[in-house]
Structure 1
Amino acid sequence: MNDDDLDAIRFATNTLIQFRDLPIFQQFDQALGKIADRLAVSPNLDTEGMDKYIQFESTPHASGSEHLAPLLQAIRERHGIRLCYTKFRADSDAVTHYTLHPYLLKEYRNRWYLLGWDADKQHIRTFGCDRIVTLDVQEGVRFQVEPSFKANDYFAHALGITVLGDAEPEDVRFECDTVLAKYLTTQPLHHSQTIVEEPNRHVVSLRVMPTFELLQWLQAHASEITMLKPTHIKHAVIQSLEKAIARQNQG
């Protein structure tokens, strides 16, 4: 790589970083930040021996990314698709066929997901791209996006990739100690998050759907938080912890 190549990379990176707050670039903010950090610590991109002093997170290749190009083209051109799909199930590796109108591609925790209108079930469904066995773009089938679907609003009340149909978001509240509160301040769980400091505790509030991803986070931090509301989520966390204790006691 010669000096002109390096200058081109630096120029492109600096240009993109100037616009990182624009909506069109916000989804790439983390990637742009990593590129900027690498240029900052090694302007000539010579990283030989650099891992003795600084190590970046190594993100594995996102499985299913080979389907992104044809799916994106189908979404843009409003072509229907057919999927052969296998779910993550312990009791079966059976393949299921779906006829879909593809609406949106979304990345979450280094996995790609497809949102599409299920023509048979008549509602929006989510599919992990890494579980797609075969993909057939039906160029002769055109569709119109359902008027009720707004890509920018669909995940507004979701913590993760799960959206519970027409369910309304709920007020979720828990208390935590100062250390966890500081972590949540620097990396909020959700855009609705607020943290109120009270004597000897911090109260965290969210306005979200009670999704699998929310329960998963609460369970993972159960030793650091006290659930305040709603009651049904508190009971779900307790039941999950009781199952975990019972399983560990079997060992």
Structure 2
Amino acid sequence: MARNKHAVIRYKVLDRCFRNPGRRYFIQDLIDECNKVLLEIDPDSKGISRRQIFEDIAFMESSEGYSIELHKHRESKRVYYRYVDISFSIDNSPLNEVEINQLRNAMTILAQFKGMPQFEYVHEILAKLNQGIALKQEEDVIIDFDNNLYLKGIELLGELHNAILYKKVLCVSYQPFENDAPYDVMIHPYYLKQYNNRWFLFGYNPDEGFYNWNLALDRIVSITETDGKYHPNTEIDWFEYFDEMIGVTKPVGATTEPVVLHLNGRAGKYVINKPIHGSQHDKWLAPDLLEVKLDLVINFEFKRLILSYGKDVEVISPEWLKEETMGNLKAALDQYQPVAKTEGA
């Protein structure tokens, strides 16, 4: 039987009726009780049918449902319904097989996020579910998320998550790619963000006075919790912050700028299906030429994205971005030019 969005509500109403010893609920009474609750939730509800109530009762009696024991008392030509044990309730009953399988499917998906904070319990619960319903421990994975389990720094996620949750000031030993040795950074952690299979910590850096200071987790050498007074975030709405750009890098003082790109052939079709940014507006100028208009912060990640389209993209505006892109492409091409032989070599 299909279980629509109101099914659980109906089951709870029926459960309440079945365990009420002070009233006899005949089929029409059960229909009326269900309709009364459904109308409170959805004024446009057209009510439920007699057939639906019988199907609901059958489901609740089944092993796939709640295995309820229902006494059907005949009174003249009518029948009223009541639990054999009126102390029983579906709210106190164990999960049924359908619910266990639904929960198990959800847990299987969550189990893929190994290394993520607060997900360590998932594997233990899955084992208990498997044991409880006698299912095999290993099953074929039918959905897979982009998740690099071997990413350096991923083991820090739990510690940083808790530092944000419990408002702890951290001293982070940090070593950027361009540095030969690590240095210490004081940070009041606010937010964790994943981009391009890397994780970044955002927070307040009191030495620099920035609330959006970010550290790549794979460049963190060590973390030490301090006794400093935590400075709460009162400056940044993180949803809006990331909504106006691609990636995680925001140049100091940068604001959104209008950008126009022309994409050729398959690149245009790809961008139609997977927009570059939420601000994207596009139109076909020709069967194989798509014009894309964006309004976003032009940062390192966006520039790299443009270069990734190679010959299939042309920057139309702004002019400075066009010139910079041309310079980058020329520099890349120069690397493939043969080196002139020196005289006498």
The answer to whether the superposition gives a TM-score over 0.5 is: yes
**TM bucket normalised to smaller:** 0.7 to 0.9
Superposed, 1:63-212 pairs within 5 Å as: 63-89=152-178, 92-123=179-210, 124-138=212-226, 140-200=227-287, 201-212=289-300
The answer on whether the counterparts of 2:175 and 2:182 sit within 8 Å (CA) in structure 1 is: yes
Residue number in structure 2 paired with 1:215: 303
Counterpart residue number, 1:31: none
Change (3 A) 1:103 1:57: closer
**2-side partners of 1:209 and 1:95: how far apart?**
30
- Shift in Å, 1:96: 1.0
Q: How far apart, in 2, do the equivalents of 1:78 and 1:57 lie? A: 30
CA separation of 1:6 and 1:250: change in aligned 2, threshold 3 A: farther
Once the two structures are overlaid, the 10-residue window that deviates more, 144-153 or 222-231, is 144-153
Larger RCO, structure (CA 8 Å, separation 6 or more):
1
CA displacement at 1:97 relative to structure 2? 0.7
Question: Match of 1:85, as an amino acid?
Answer: Y
Partner Cα distance (2:322, 2:97) in 1: 55
Q: Deviations over 1:88-108 (max 9, x none)?
A: 12xx42111101111110011
Report the Cα offset of residue 227 of structure 1: 1.2
Please give the root-mean-square deviation of Cα atoms over the aligned residues, in Å. Answer: 3.0
Q: Would you say how many aligned residue pairs link Structure 1 and Structure 2?
A: 215
Q: Structure 2: how far apart are the matches of 1:14 and 1:99?
A: 38
Q: Quick one: distance in 2 between partners of 1:63 and 1:5?
A: 40
Structure 1 CA distance for aligned equivalents of residues 144 and 160 of structure 2: 31
Whether the 8 Å contact between 1:70 and 1:137 is mirrored in structure 2 is no
Q: 1:248 to 1:136 in 2, by over 3 A?
A: same
Question: Which structure dedicates a bigger proportion of its chain to strand?
Answer: 1
- 1:12 Cα deviation after fit: 4.7
Per-residue CA deviation, residues 75-128 of structure 1 (Å, 9 max, x unaligned), is 122211000011112xx4211110111111001111110011111011131111
Distance in 1, matches of 2:146 and 2:242, equals 27
Q: Unpaired segments of 5 or more residues in structure 1?
A: 18-43
Q: Is the 8 A contact 2:265 2:312 kept in 1?
A: no
Instruction: Give 5+ residue unaligned stretches, structure 2.
Output: 1-95, 110-135, 340-345
Distance 2:145 2:191 in 1: 28
* Cα displacement (A) at 1:9: 5.5
Instruction: Give the secondary structure class of the aligned counterpart of 1:159.
Output: coil
Q: CA deviation at 1:60?
A: 2.9
Equivalent residues of 1:181, 1:195 under 8 A apart:
no
The secondary structure found in structure 1 opposite 2:169 is: strand
Task: Answer whether contact 2:190 2:204 (CA < 8 A) is retained.
Answer: yes
- Hey, what's the Cα distance between the residues in 2 that align with 1:111 and 1:16? 23
Q: TM-score, normalised by structure 2?
A: 0.56
